[in-house]
Amino acid sequence: MQTVPKKMQTPRDPALVARRQDEILESAARFFSEHGYQNADMQSLANELNVGKGTLYRYFPSKEELFFEANERGMRLLQEYIDSKRDRSLSALEQVRAAIRTFFRFFDENHQYLELLIQERAEFKNRREPTYLKQCERGQKNWADLEQHLFETGMLRRKPNKTVDHTVNNMLYGTLFTSYFAGDTRFEDHTDRVVEVLLCGLLSPSAQEDFLATTSEDPGKPKC
């Protein structure tokens, strides 16, 4: 792995530095998405940005770090996008629906960040803290107040916990990945179906009662 020591020489203005980093990361996300991590050449990226390769290495000392930072930035943008669209004047359940729709819409508009998550798993499967999991933790913290409200008002059967949060995240990201692999990239179209299963479940009320009756004495079986 080629590495060049960090030397932030120009520009020196912190605001300009941050803006330049964002420009590089935005282009890098598209570049990695189009070419794949292994085939992404730093010189080609530098040419696309109309800068010298040394400039890239001043900001990001290796291709690996550039990739991780581009991926991390994508997940920050996702969270900022969801938070910026949150309308607290809506009912709690409508806020849930709107958040899920906004989540899918972000990836409709930014396929490159979904591609980067997939590439990270393929290229760095032993990474201790994958970007995807860090984003899940951030999202859970930002929406904990809504989950607590749903529980306190009797709309949730169980108190929110990490198991529930992970299950919801698995449903959302699973929908993204399987749709993407199938060539279906209109993710927002899945919103209502996901919300229906998440909030209403699959079983009718009578079927839920029958299911509970057969599982109530077995603590190892799932319960509605």
In the prediction, which pLDDT does 151 show? Answer: 87
> What is the phi-psi region of residue 186: left when phi exceeds 0, alpha when psi lies from -120 to 50, beta otherwise?
beta
Residue-by-residue DSSP string for 55-99: HHHHH-SSHHHHHHHHHHHHHHHHHHHHHHH--TTS-HHHHHHHH
Upper half-sphere CA count for residue 43 (Cβ side, 13 Å): 1
- Band of the pLDDT at 221, cuts 50, 70, 90? low
In the prediction, which pLDDT does 183 show? Answer: 94
Residue 115: closest CA among 199, 51, 29: 29
Contact between 143 and 99 (Cβ < 8 Å): yes
The rounded mean pLDDT for the chain is 87
d(CA 197, CA 98): 15
Mean pLDDT to the nearest integer, 135-153: 83
Structural domains for the chain? 14-215 (1.10.357.10)
- Could you read off the pLDDT of 32-84 as tens digits, one per residue? 999 999 999 999 999 999 999 999 999 999 999 999 999 999 999 999 999 99
